Amino acid sequence: MPEIRIDPITEERVIVATERSRRPHDFKKPDAPPAPAPEFVPTCPFCVGNESMTPPEVDAFREAGTAPDAPGWWVRTVPNKFPALAPDSHTDPSTEGVYTRTGGYGVHEVIIETPRHNETPVVASAQQWREVIRMYQRRLQTLAQNGRLRTALIFRNEGRTAGASLEHPHSQLVGLPFVPPVLQRYIEGVARYQSRHGRHPMEAILEQELREGMRVVNQSARFVVYAPFAARAPYELAIAPTTPALQLATMEPDALTEFADVLRDALRRLDAALGNPPHNYMLFTAPFGGDGAFWEYVRIAPRLSIDAGFELGTGVGINITAPEDAARYLREAFTASG
Protein backbone atom coordinates (compact mmCIF):
# COMPACT_ATOMS: atom_id res chain seq x y z
CA MET A 1 0.00 0.00 0.00
CA PRO A 2 1.54 3.36 -0.95
CA GLU A 3 2.11 5.88 1.82
CA ILE A 4 2.67 9.61 1.85
CA ARG A 5 5.58 10.98 3.86
CA ILE A 6 5.86 14.62 4.79
CA ASP A 7 9.23 16.32 4.89
CA PRO A 8 9.56 17.78 8.38
CA ILE A 9 11.27 20.93 7.09
CA THR A 10 9.69 21.84 3.73
CA GLU A 11 6.44 19.98 4.56
CA GLU A 12 6.42 18.69 0.98
CA ARG A 13 4.95 15.27 0.39
CA VAL A 14 6.55 12.23 -1.17
CA ILE A 15 4.74 9.06 -2.19
CA VAL A 16 6.62 5.97 -1.06
CA ALA A 17 5.28 2.97 -2.96
CA THR A 18 7.07 0.27 -0.98
CA GLU A 19 5.38 -2.70 -2.63
CA ARG A 20 7.16 -1.68 -5.79
CA SER A 21 10.42 -1.41 -3.87
CA ARG A 22 13.42 -2.51 -5.82
CA ARG A 23 16.61 -4.10 -4.68
CA PRO A 24 19.84 -2.62 -6.00
CA HIS A 25 20.35 -5.25 -8.68
CA ASP A 26 17.01 -4.31 -10.25
CA PHE A 27 18.49 -0.92 -11.06
CA LYS A 28 21.85 -2.16 -12.32
CA LYS A 29 22.20 -2.09 -16.04
CA PRO A 30 22.30 -5.59 -17.51
CA ASP A 31 24.88 -4.65 -20.14
CA ALA A 32 28.58 -5.17 -19.67
CA PRO A 33 30.24 -2.22 -17.90
CA PRO A 34 31.59 0.44 -20.25
CA ALA A 35 35.20 0.11 -21.29
CA PRO A 36 37.47 1.81 -18.75
CA ALA A 37 38.34 5.36 -19.81
CA PRO A 38 42.01 6.08 -20.56
CA GLU A 39 44.07 8.28 -18.24
CA PHE A 40 44.57 10.88 -20.99
CA VAL A 41 42.24 11.92 -23.79
CA PRO A 42 43.84 14.26 -26.37
CA THR A 43 40.59 16.15 -27.04
CA CYS A 44 39.56 16.56 -23.39
CA PRO A 45 39.85 20.19 -22.22
CA PHE A 46 40.29 19.07 -18.60
CA CYS A 47 43.18 16.63 -19.15
CA VAL A 48 46.64 17.68 -18.07
CA GLY A 49 48.57 19.24 -20.94
CA ASN A 50 45.37 20.63 -22.50
CA GLU A 51 45.17 23.67 -20.23
CA SER A 52 44.97 26.03 -23.22
CA MET A 53 41.61 24.50 -24.13
CA THR A 54 39.92 26.12 -21.09
CA PRO A 55 39.58 29.76 -20.09
CA PRO A 56 42.56 30.87 -17.94
CA GLU A 57 42.50 29.26 -14.49
CA VAL A 58 41.30 31.24 -11.49
CA ASP A 59 42.77 28.89 -8.90
CA ALA A 60 44.82 25.71 -8.67
CA PHE A 61 46.74 23.52 -6.30
CA ARG A 62 49.99 23.05 -8.19
CA GLU A 63 53.63 22.19 -7.67
CA ALA A 64 55.87 25.04 -6.62
CA GLY A 65 57.49 26.72 -9.59
CA THR A 66 54.90 25.66 -12.18
CA ALA A 67 53.09 28.36 -14.14
CA PRO A 68 49.31 28.93 -14.30
CA ASP A 69 47.61 27.13 -17.20
CA ALA A 70 50.49 24.69 -17.47
CA PRO A 71 50.91 21.14 -16.10
CA GLY A 72 51.94 20.66 -12.47
CA TRP A 73 48.45 21.05 -10.91
CA TRP A 74 46.44 18.41 -9.07
CA VAL A 75 43.17 20.36 -8.71
CA ARG A 76 42.37 23.26 -11.03
CA THR A 77 39.52 25.78 -11.19
CA VAL A 78 38.53 27.56 -14.39
CA PRO A 79 35.56 29.71 -15.42
CA ASN A 80 32.89 27.67 -17.18
CA LYS A 81 33.35 28.17 -20.92
CA PHE A 82 29.55 28.08 -21.36
CA PRO A 83 28.40 29.86 -18.21
CA ALA A 84 24.78 29.77 -17.06
CA LEU A 85 25.46 33.16 -15.45
CA ALA A 86 28.20 35.59 -16.37
CA PRO A 87 30.30 38.00 -14.28
CA ASP A 88 30.23 40.67 -17.00
CA SER A 89 26.45 40.87 -16.80
CA HIS A 90 24.38 42.96 -14.37
CA THR A 91 21.48 42.63 -11.94
CA ASP A 92 19.40 45.64 -12.95
CA PRO A 93 15.76 44.78 -13.50
CA SER A 94 13.83 46.01 -16.50
CA THR A 95 10.08 45.72 -16.77
CA GLU A 96 7.83 45.53 -19.80
CA GLY A 97 4.21 45.32 -18.79
CA VAL A 98 3.70 42.27 -16.61
CA TYR A 99 7.19 40.89 -17.22
CA THR A 100 10.47 41.60 -15.43
CA ARG A 101 13.93 40.47 -16.39
CA THR A 102 17.41 41.19 -15.10
CA GLY A 103 20.88 40.63 -16.43
CA GLY A 104 22.23 37.16 -15.84
CA TYR A 105 24.91 38.21 -13.39
CA GLY A 106 26.71 35.44 -11.55
CA VAL A 107 29.84 33.33 -11.34
CA HIS A 108 30.08 29.85 -12.86
CA GLU A 109 33.26 27.88 -12.24
CA VAL A 110 34.43 24.37 -13.00
CA ILE A 111 36.59 22.56 -10.47
CA ILE A 112 38.67 19.99 -12.35
CA GLU A 113 39.17 17.32 -9.72
CA THR A 114 42.20 15.58 -11.14
CA PRO A 115 44.66 15.79 -14.05
CA ARG A 116 43.74 12.18 -14.91
CA HIS A 117 40.71 11.57 -17.14
CA ASN A 118 39.75 8.29 -15.45
CA GLU A 119 40.29 9.21 -11.79
CA THR A 120 36.66 9.35 -10.69
CA PRO A 121 35.83 10.02 -7.02
CA VAL A 122 35.32 6.32 -6.38
CA VAL A 123 38.81 5.38 -7.60
CA ALA A 124 40.63 8.54 -6.47
CA SER A 125 42.77 8.24 -3.36
CA ALA A 126 41.37 9.66 -0.13
CA GLN A 127 44.17 12.21 -0.28
CA GLN A 128 43.29 13.39 -3.79
CA TRP A 129 39.60 13.69 -2.87
CA ARG A 130 40.44 15.73 0.25
CA GLU A 131 42.23 18.16 -2.01
CA VAL A 132 39.09 18.51 -4.13
CA ILE A 133 37.07 19.37 -1.02
CA ARG A 134 39.80 21.78 0.09
CA MET A 135 39.34 23.51 -3.28
CA TYR A 136 35.56 23.64 -2.68
CA GLN A 137 36.30 25.46 0.56
CA ARG A 138 38.76 27.86 -0.99
CA ARG A 139 36.46 28.81 -3.87
CA LEU A 140 33.54 29.29 -1.48
CA GLN A 141 35.68 31.58 0.67
CA THR A 142 36.67 33.56 -2.42
CA LEU A 143 33.10 33.93 -3.70
CA ALA A 144 31.93 35.00 -0.23
CA GLN A 145 34.10 38.11 -0.68
CA ASN A 146 32.11 39.11 -3.78
CA GLY A 147 29.63 41.64 -2.44
CA ARG A 148 27.18 41.07 -5.31
CA LEU A 149 26.61 37.38 -4.59
CA ARG A 150 24.17 36.16 -1.96
CA THR A 151 24.60 32.39 -2.26
CA ALA A 152 26.70 29.75 -3.95
CA LEU A 153 25.88 26.21 -4.94
CA ILE A 154 28.57 23.57 -5.37
CA PHE A 155 27.28 20.59 -7.33
CA ARG A 156 28.49 17.61 -9.28
CA ASN A 157 26.86 15.76 -12.20
CA GLU A 158 27.90 12.15 -12.82
CA GLY A 159 26.78 10.42 -15.99
CA ARG A 160 25.08 11.73 -19.13
CA THR A 161 21.57 11.04 -17.84
CA ALA A 162 22.38 13.22 -14.82
CA GLY A 163 23.37 16.09 -17.12
CA ALA A 164 27.14 15.63 -17.28
CA SER A 165 28.37 16.76 -20.69
CA LEU A 166 32.07 16.04 -20.10
CA GLU A 167 33.42 12.76 -18.75
CA HIS A 168 36.56 14.09 -17.06
CA PRO A 169 35.87 14.29 -13.30
CA HIS A 170 34.76 17.78 -12.36
CA SER A 171 32.50 19.68 -10.01
CA GLN A 172 30.84 23.02 -10.58
CA LEU A 173 30.25 26.09 -8.48
CA VAL A 174 27.69 28.77 -9.24
CA GLY A 175 27.53 32.05 -7.35
CA LEU A 176 24.10 33.67 -7.43
CA PRO A 177 22.95 37.23 -6.70
CA PHE A 178 19.77 35.86 -5.10
CA VAL A 179 18.53 33.09 -2.79
CA PRO A 180 17.12 30.41 -5.10
CA PRO A 181 13.74 28.76 -4.40
CA VAL A 182 15.06 25.41 -3.15
CA LEU A 183 17.23 27.13 -0.55
CA GLN A 184 14.49 29.63 0.29
CA ARG A 185 12.03 26.82 1.04
CA TYR A 186 14.57 25.16 3.34
CA ILE A 187 15.18 28.44 5.17
CA GLU A 188 11.44 29.11 5.53
CA GLY A 189 10.80 25.53 6.67
CA VAL A 190 13.50 25.77 9.32
CA ALA A 191 12.05 29.04 10.64
CA ARG A 192 8.53 27.58 10.70
CA TYR A 193 9.66 24.49 12.60
CA GLN A 194 11.73 26.51 15.04
CA SER A 195 8.86 28.84 15.85
CA ARG A 196 6.59 25.86 16.51
CA HIS A 197 8.99 23.56 18.33
CA GLY A 198 11.67 25.83 19.73
CA ARG A 199 14.54 23.90 18.22
CA HIS A 200 16.23 23.44 14.86
CA PRO A 201 14.58 20.65 12.81
CA MET A 202 17.98 19.25 11.79
CA GLU A 203 18.81 18.73 15.47
CA ALA A 204 15.55 16.79 15.92
CA ILE A 205 16.08 14.83 12.69
CA LEU A 206 19.64 13.77 13.47
CA GLU A 207 18.75 12.87 17.05
CA GLN A 208 15.95 10.61 15.82
CA GLU A 209 18.01 9.12 13.00
CA LEU A 210 20.87 8.21 15.33
CA ARG A 211 18.45 6.77 17.90
CA GLU A 212 16.50 4.68 15.36
CA GLY A 213 19.45 3.82 13.14
CA MET A 214 17.40 2.26 10.36
CA ARG A 215 18.02 5.05 7.85
CA VAL A 216 21.64 5.72 8.83
CA VAL A 217 24.21 4.60 6.26
CA ASN A 218 27.39 5.82 7.90
CA GLN A 219 28.58 8.20 10.55
CA SER A 220 31.77 9.79 11.72
CA ALA A 221 32.55 11.95 14.76
CA ARG A 222 31.10 15.05 13.11
CA PHE A 223 28.86 13.86 10.23
CA VAL A 224 25.87 11.60 9.62
CA VAL A 225 25.07 9.99 6.26
CA TYR A 226 21.43 8.90 6.02
CA ALA A 227 18.56 8.16 3.67
CA PRO A 228 16.03 10.95 4.37
CA PHE A 229 12.64 9.82 5.71
CA ALA A 230 10.89 11.68 2.86
CA ALA A 231 13.51 11.00 0.16
CA ARG A 232 12.07 11.98 -3.21
CA ALA A 233 13.78 9.27 -5.24
CA PRO A 234 15.40 5.85 -4.78
CA TYR A 235 18.73 5.76 -2.92
CA GLU A 236 18.76 9.47 -2.20
CA LEU A 237 21.16 10.36 0.64
CA ALA A 238 21.83 13.32 2.89
CA ILE A 239 25.03 14.19 4.68
CA ALA A 240 24.74 16.58 7.59
CA PRO A 241 27.12 17.78 10.27
CA THR A 242 25.97 17.17 13.82
CA THR A 243 26.11 20.90 14.53
CA PRO A 244 25.35 24.05 12.50
CA ALA A 245 28.70 25.42 13.65
CA LEU A 246 30.36 23.16 11.07
CA GLN A 247 30.16 25.14 7.83
CA LEU A 248 32.22 24.41 4.76
CA ALA A 249 33.64 27.92 4.39
CA THR A 250 35.03 28.00 7.93
CA MET A 251 35.67 24.32 8.67
CA GLU A 252 39.00 23.45 10.30
CA PRO A 253 41.27 21.08 8.35
CA ASP A 254 40.42 18.07 10.53
CA ALA A 255 36.70 18.45 9.99
CA LEU A 256 37.23 19.14 6.29
CA THR A 257 39.15 15.88 5.94
CA GLU A 258 36.39 14.04 7.74
CA PHE A 259 33.76 15.60 5.47
CA ALA A 260 35.74 14.62 2.36
CA ASP A 261 36.02 11.06 3.66
CA VAL A 262 32.30 10.58 4.41
CA LEU A 263 31.31 12.09 1.04
CA ARG A 264 33.77 9.79 -0.77
CA ASP A 265 32.50 6.85 1.28
CA ALA A 266 28.88 7.60 0.30
CA LEU A 267 29.78 7.77 -3.40
CA ARG A 268 31.73 4.52 -3.10
CA ARG A 269 28.76 2.82 -1.45
CA LEU A 270 26.45 3.93 -4.29
CA ASP A 271 29.01 2.59 -6.74
CA ALA A 272 29.31 -0.75 -4.92
CA ALA A 273 25.54 -1.20 -4.60
CA LEU A 274 24.38 0.25 -7.92
CA GLY A 275 27.35 0.27 -10.28
CA ASN A 276 28.18 4.00 -10.29
CA PRO A 277 24.64 5.14 -11.06
CA PRO A 278 24.09 8.51 -12.76
CA HIS A 279 23.70 11.02 -9.96
CA ASN A 280 23.97 14.60 -8.84
CA TYR A 281 25.03 15.98 -5.53
CA MET A 282 24.43 19.46 -4.21
CA LEU A 283 26.06 21.24 -1.25
CA PHE A 284 23.56 23.48 0.48
CA THR A 285 25.95 25.89 2.12
CA ALA A 286 25.13 28.97 4.18
CA PRO A 287 24.08 32.12 2.31
CA PHE A 288 26.79 34.78 2.33
CA GLY A 289 26.64 37.37 5.08
CA GLY A 290 24.02 35.46 7.07
CA ASP A 291 23.82 35.19 10.83
CA GLY A 292 25.77 31.95 11.00
CA ALA A 293 22.77 29.87 12.09
CA PHE A 294 22.40 28.00 8.79
CA TRP A 295 22.63 24.21 9.15
CA GLU A 296 24.40 22.99 6.03
CA TYR A 297 23.78 19.65 4.33
CA VAL A 298 24.54 17.69 1.19
CA ARG A 299 21.92 16.00 -0.95
CA ILE A 300 23.04 13.09 -3.14
CA ALA A 301 20.42 12.31 -5.78
CA PRO A 302 20.88 9.14 -7.86
CA ARG A 303 18.95 9.40 -11.13
CA LEU A 304 17.42 5.93 -11.22
CA SER A 305 13.91 7.03 -12.14
CA ILE A 306 12.51 9.71 -14.42
CA ASP A 307 10.28 12.55 -13.28
CA ALA A 308 7.21 12.37 -15.51
CA GLY A 309 4.00 14.39 -15.83
CA PHE A 310 2.85 13.56 -12.31
CA GLU A 311 6.05 14.79 -10.65
CA LEU A 312 6.32 17.88 -12.91
CA GLY A 313 2.67 18.75 -12.41
CA THR A 314 2.47 18.24 -8.65
CA GLY A 315 5.99 18.66 -7.28
CA VAL A 316 5.38 15.39 -5.40
CA GLY A 317 8.02 12.70 -5.86
CA ILE A 318 7.24 9.00 -6.19
CA ASN A 319 9.91 6.91 -4.51
CA ILE A 320 9.75 3.19 -5.32
CA THR A 321 12.46 2.24 -2.82
CA ALA A 322 11.75 2.74 0.87
CA PRO A 323 14.54 4.86 2.39
CA GLU A 324 14.92 2.20 5.12
CA ASP A 325 15.64 -0.42 2.45
CA ALA A 326 18.02 1.88 0.58
CA ALA A 327 19.93 2.57 3.79
CA ARG A 328 20.23 -1.13 4.59
CA TYR A 329 21.55 -1.96 1.11
CA LEU A 330 24.05 0.89 1.31
CA ARG A 331 25.18 -0.08 4.82
CA GLU A 332 25.89 -3.55 3.48
CA ALA A 333 27.27 -2.30 0.15
CA PHE A 334 30.91 -3.16 0.66
CA THR A 335 30.26 -6.60 2.11
CA ALA A 336 27.71 -7.36 -0.63
CA SER A 337 30.04 -6.35 -3.46
CA GLY A 338 32.86 -8.44 -1.92
Beta bridge partners of 153: 174, 284
Interface with a second copy, residue 322, by CB under 8 A: no
Q: How many residues form the binding site for a second copy (CB under 8 A)?
A: 70
Q: What is the closest distance, in whole angstroms, from the C-beta atom of residue 308 to a second copy in the complex?
A: 3
- Considering only 24, 45, 175, 201, the residue that binds a second copy (CB under 8 A) is 201
Interface with a second copy, residue 88, by CB under 8 A: yes
- Considering only 44, 122, 214, 282, the residue that binds a second copy (CB under 8 A) is 282
Best CA proximity match to 61, nearest among 102, 115, 16 = 115
Interface with a second copy, residue 183, by CB under 8 A: yes
- Considering only 40, 55, 138, 178, the residue that binds a second copy (CB under 8 A) is 178
Q: With contact defined as beta carbons under 8 Å apart, do 48 and 115 qualify? A: yes
Burial class (CB in 10 A: 0-12, 13-18, 19+), 315: exposed
CB 112: neighbour CB atoms within 10 A? 26
Best CA proximity match to 242, nearest among 263, 219, 222, 227 = 222
Residues of span 65-84 touching a second copy by CB under 8 A: 82-84
The DSSP-derived string for 106-157 is -EEEEEE--SSTT--TTTS-HHHHHHHHHHHHHHHHHHHT-TT--EEEEEEE
Q: Which stretch binds a second copy (CB under 8 A): 58-66, 142-150, 173-181, 237-245?
A: 173-181
When the beta carbons of 232 and 269 are compared against a second copy, the nearer one is 232
Q: With contact defined as beta carbons under 8 Å apart, do 298 and 239 qualify? A: yes
Interface with a second copy, residue 312, by CB under 8 A: yes
Interface with a second copy, residue 167, by CB under 8 A: no
Interface with a second copy, residue 331, by CB under 8 A: no
Best CA proximity match to 305, nearest among 17, 10, 9 = 17
Q: Which stretch binds a second copy (CB under 8 A): 22-30, 50-58, 217-225, 299-307?
A: 299-307
Rounded distance between C-alpha atoms, residue 300 and residue 239, angstroms: 8
Q: Which stretch binds a second copy (CB under 8 A): 11-19, 23-31, 68-76, 286-294?
A: 11-19
Interface with a second copy, residue 61, by CB under 8 A: no
Q: What is the closest distance, in whole angstroms, from the C-beta atom of residue 155 to a second copy in the complex?
A: 3
When the beta carbons of 95 and 335 are compared against a second copy, the nearer one is 95
Interface with a second copy, residue 2, by CB under 8 A: yes
Residues of span 208-237 touching a second copy by CB under 8 A: 208, 229-230
When the beta carbons of 49 and 315 are compared against a second copy, the nearer one is 315
β-pairing verdict for 73-79 and 107-112? antiparallel
When the beta carbons of 48 and 283 are compared against a second copy, the nearer one is 283
β-pairing verdict for 73-79 and 59-62? antiparallel
The alpha carbons of the chain give a radius of gyration, in whole angstroms, of 20
Q: What is the closest distance, in whole angstroms, from the C-beta atom of residue 331 to a second copy in the complex?
A: 20
Residues of span 103-132 touching a second copy by CB under 8 A: 103-104
The DSSP-derived string for 242-305 is SSTT--GGG--HHHHHHHHHHHHHHHHHHHHHHSS--EEEEEEPPPTT--S----EEEEEE--S
Binding region for a second copy (CB under 8 A)? 1-6, 8, 12-13, 15-17, 20, 82-86, 88-89, 97-104, 153, 155-157, 160-164, 172, 174, 176, 178, 180-183, 185, 201, 204-205, 208, 229-230, 280-282, 284, 299, 301, 306-316, 318
